[in-house]
Chain A
Amino acid sequence: MKSYKFERIAKNYGRKQVLFGVSGAFPPGSTVGLLGLNGAGKTTLLNILGNCDRDFSGYISLRGNAVAYMPTRLPFPTFWQVREVLDFYGRFYKFDRFLADQLLLEAKISPHARLSALSDGMRRMVAFIGCYCTDAQVYLLDEPLTNLDAFLRAEIADLLIGRALGEKITVIATHEIKEFENLFTHICILRGGGLSPLKDAEEIRAEGMSIEEYYRGKAK
């Protein structure tokens, strides 16, 4: 498998330019931490990479159902039941429904519950399960741990670890560096509308810096 590449991604909201030609290449098998301050454009970039926003300029090497995306907000009507959400994924992707049902059970979320009846954290877990059980080459996760309790956080971490070997690429946009730092193989930082070059996480540590220190030095 080749690297996942995107080049010169530019995006503006009206007059406000958010991304000024962002380029990146993520190697197969990598787990990339996409870091950046609030308003740096992480969600904007992931919306574009994850097919949710087509109003941009630039090039992306993998599109369509090669990419699974967990957005911060589920884009489905809140009167839908959880199983309808999974049906939806099943219609458009190669989707492991068996695994999805099993994960729902472990998270104690009923497939017949309406989205409106779920807590924020449970909705996040449904979004994660939808993304995780999709058979794609690239997984994009936007703040996957927000509002989740300690049990579900651990569950998500274990699931991501279980799949980190192999060719698939996972990109995690997050502020929770501590929770993920040992999972990242690479780090890149979005700042001022541009993306820093990809940096090997162990290389950062070998230079005597923690991921957090590296990020603090680069983010401002």
Chain B
Amino acid sequence: MIRMMNELTIMGEPRRQRILNLVWDRELSAGEIANDLSDISFGAVSQHLGILVEGGLISVRREGRSRIYRANRGEMGPLEAYLTAFWDRKLDRLKEQAEKLEKKKKMEKKDE
């Protein structure tokens, strides 16, 4: 039986969206990805990683005994999957940046 799977189908699964966000602009090992998705088994994480690699959304390379993953940003599409992952990642980034800046401002105010 021939089975077809496109990017939209691949990206319809929230765990795979999360994995894509995690490896959007950095390389992570399978173990590091599994640590973030601690509510599912390592086997389930491996399965999701396999689907993302097969779909061309992420690439994998070996480093010693580890497998290292990274998003294939140039291959992203269609639009919804690409932009959803893109803006989601930016909101994560903003949260980190703004909360750090807020803490710094509060510390400075305290010192005055």
A and B: bona fide binding partners: no
Residues of A within 8 A of B (CB): none
Query: Footprint of A on B, CB under 8 Å?
Result: none
